[in-house]
Amino acid sequence: MVWRYVADDRESFFAPFVSGANRLENGNTFVCSGPQGRFFEVTGEGEIVWEYRNPFHGDVEGWVPEGTEEFLYATFRATKIPPDHPGLTGRNLSPLDPQPPAHAPPPPGGQ
């Protein structure tokens, strides 16, 4: 093993399915913790540089085991794209203002 990341609260960083990580050009690691819909960048020393949580939810019935409804914000995969990527040319990269609430409860009656 060359490197590993261990969260301070190990239970907050457990993913029984859909997740991934990849090394970035700057040496940090981009992590997608899929079941929680959580994305973050971590340094080689284990410091989280930034974090984002998926504010969008959907109906998980039928694709996650019964009793795992807490995965309402699950994300299959994510990739960090640098702001100078050609696919972003001419696009507004300003953050949403106001930001959507992270993990807000779904509205009554579903989506």
End-to-end CA distance of the chain: 43
- For 56-103, give the secondary structure using H, E and C: CCCCCCCCCCCCCHHHCCCCCCCCCCCCCCHHHCCCCCCCCCCCCCCC
Look up the pTM and report it. Answer: 0.72
- CA dihedral for 60, 39, 53, 56, sign (positive or negative): negative
Domain ranges of the chain: 17-80
The pLDDT tens digits of the residues spanning 18-67 come to 888 999 999 999 999 888 888 999 999 999 999 988 887 766 556 555 66
Mean pLDDT, rounded, of the chain: 80
Model confidence at 108: pLDDT above 60: no
